[in-house]
């Protein structure tokens, strides 16, 4: 009792020193690699050059943003980014949920662990490796699917050179690579649901579908809402690796997204101020979408803050 009373009188930060020490590396990571680099956004308002550096480069105000606005290709770049991002977010979002529910229903421990390992593995593969798999399967000349198409119809189908089929492959590759790893969060949420709820529902004659609809989905609804809000940040932030590896000149209109354009213009042409201005615009759109999604979720009692 005396020890408990003495501990209660100690300042909160002293009582939580072990937790603070555990959190310190995470805090340092975000400060060093996330917050400090934000100072580089000043480049968007300057005519940056390597010789003068960030602080020595002359101010140009909103000139870079005006150049982006007047650029003839910028509308297509933003449109392609928005299309691929929205489709990747909303088409791929349900798959980790469904995969987690299916894995959670498996009762044999060995089989369950084997399935989990197989679906998690693609996350750890580089997009260069994944792109090689895609080419091996869908290449027009020697791809597996093209060989099957040629055997059935007499001619190979250009899967990677038609916009509709390329988009389907693009979305499918992203789902295959990330769905298993994303399902970890939903599996953790499923483990918090009281098993007695399923037992009671089973006694009342509820089928598996009814149990999933009335117990499983409501039980993980807060986590689903949280993940959806966080996913809104990526609506204008499609990854560079996937588009660059899977893209080709034939589908360049669809594959020329902001990240690829920034790579070509920024690193290729040295126009760092222009690409930084576009990155700032992209971040502001992402922030706006997160705020809107959180406001909508608040009406259903599932807001992030």
Q: Is residue 35 part of a domain?
A: no
Q: Is residue 50 part of a domain?
A: no
pLDDT for 226 equals: 83
Crossing angle of the two packed helices 163-190 and 217-231, in degrees rounded to 10: 130
- Residue 58 DSSP code: P
| Cα within 13 Å of Cα(200), Cβ side | 6
pLDDT for 166 equals: 92
pLDDT for 177 equals: 92
Q: Does residue 3 carry a pLDDT above 60?
A: no
pLDDT for 7 equals: 56
pLDDT for 176 equals: 92
The whole-angstrom distance between residue 251's C-alpha and the CA centroid of its chain comes to 22
Give the CA-trace dihedral at 271, 275, 277, 283, to 10 degrees.
-170
Q: Rounded distance, CA 12 to CA 10, Å?
A: 6
pLDDT for 154 equals: 79
Range of the domain at 276: 65-299
Q: What percent of the chain has pLDDT over 70?
A: 95
Q: Is residue 60 part of a domain?
A: no
pLDDT for 172 equals: 92
Q: Does residue 297 carry a pLDDT above 60?
A: yes
Number of domains in the chain: 1
Q: Rounded distance, CA 201 to CA 246, Å?
A: 47
Question: What pLDDT digit, counting tens, does each position of 98-142 carry?
Answer: 999 988 888 888 888 888 888 888 999 889 999 888 888 988 877
Q: Is residue 23 part of a domain?
A: no
pLDDT for 96 equals: 92
Q: Is residue 269 part of a domain?
A: yes
Q: Rounded distance, CA 5 to CA 234, Å?
A: 48
CATH code of residue 178: 1.10.3720.10
Question: What pLDDT digit, counting tens, does each position of 153-199 carry?
Answer: 878 888 888 889 999 999 999 999 999 888 988 998 998 888 888 88
**Residue 254 is encoded by which pair of tokens?**
């669809």
For residue 270, name the pLDDT band (cuts at 50, 70, 90): confident
- Plot region of 139 (φ>0 → left; ψ -120 to 50 → alpha; else → beta): beta
Q: Is residue 195 part of a domain?
A: yes
Question: What pLDDT digit, counting tens, does each position of 245-266 carry?
Answer: 888 888 888 888 988 888 888 8
Q: Rounded distance, CA 140 to CA 170, Å?
A: 16
């Amino acid at each position: 009792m005396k020890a408990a009373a003495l501990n209660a009188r100690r300042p909160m930060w002293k009582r939580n020193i072990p937790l603070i020490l555990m959190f310190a590396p995470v805090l340092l990571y975000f400060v060093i690699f996330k917050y400090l680099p934000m100072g580089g956004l000043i480049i968007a308002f300057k005519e940056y050059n390597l010789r003068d550096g960030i602080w020595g480069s002359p101010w140009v105000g909103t000139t870079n943003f005006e150049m982006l606005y007047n650029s003839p290709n910028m509308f297509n770049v933003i449109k392609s980014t928005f299309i691929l991002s929205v489709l990747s977010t909303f088409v791929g979002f349900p798959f980790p949920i469904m995969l987690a529910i299916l894995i959670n229903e498996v009762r044999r421990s060995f089989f369950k662990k084997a399935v989990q390992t197989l679906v998690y593995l693609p996350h750890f593969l580089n997009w260069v490796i994944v792109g090689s798999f895609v080419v091996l399967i869908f290449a027009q000349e020697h791809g597996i699917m093209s060989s099957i198409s040629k055997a059935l119809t007499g001619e190979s189908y250009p899967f990677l050179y038609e916009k509709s089929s390329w988009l389907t492959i693009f979305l499918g590759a992203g789902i295959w690579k990330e769905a298993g790893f994303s399902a970890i969060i939903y599996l953790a949420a499923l483990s918090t649901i009281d098993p007695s709820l399923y037992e009671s529902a089973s006694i009342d004659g509820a089928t598996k579908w009814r149990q999933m609809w009335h117990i499983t989905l409501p039980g993980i609804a807060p986590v689903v809402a949280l993940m959806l809000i966080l996913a809104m940040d990526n609506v204008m932030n499609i990854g560079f690796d996937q588009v660059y590896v899977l893209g080709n000149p034939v589908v360049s209109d669809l594959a020329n997204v902001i990240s690829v354009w920034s790579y070509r213009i920024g690193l290729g042409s040295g126009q760092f101020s222009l690409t930084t201005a576009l990155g700032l615009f992209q971040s502001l759109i992402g922030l706006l979408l997160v705020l809107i999604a959180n406001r909508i979720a608040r009406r259903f009692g599932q807001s992030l803050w």
